[in-house]
Amino acid sequence: MSTQPIECRLKGAGVLVGLGLLVQLVSFSWLHPLAFSVFLVIGCPLVAAGIIVYLVSLLRYHPQSIAPPRIRRPSSSSEDGELDTIQA
């Protein structure tokens, strides 16, 4: 799952949540004793799976283009107030 770009994983999570909400909407309008079972057995797990995929993809996202912060401190060798830049 970590080889896919984050956009693909977020899109998949959105599709899962959307399908779950669609199933729940259909089960609300369906007047049958099995409507609640469809709501619980199909709709809720789809929404929960979408939320879990979304959160996991955010937790595993490591941007490659962000550089480490640079710390600037006063130089001890220069007396005119220049700043040295070091890597954190």
* pTM across the whole model: 0.66
83-87 vs 70-74, strand pairing mode: antiparallel
Q: Where are the chain's structural domains?
A: 6-87
Report residue 3 as tokens: 């080889």
Top-confidence residue, 81 or 25: 25
- The DSSP line for 2-64 is TTS-HHHHHHHHHHHHHHHHHHHHHHHH--STTHHHHIIIIIHHHHHHHHHHHHHHHHT---S
- Average pLDDT over the chain, rounded to whole? 82
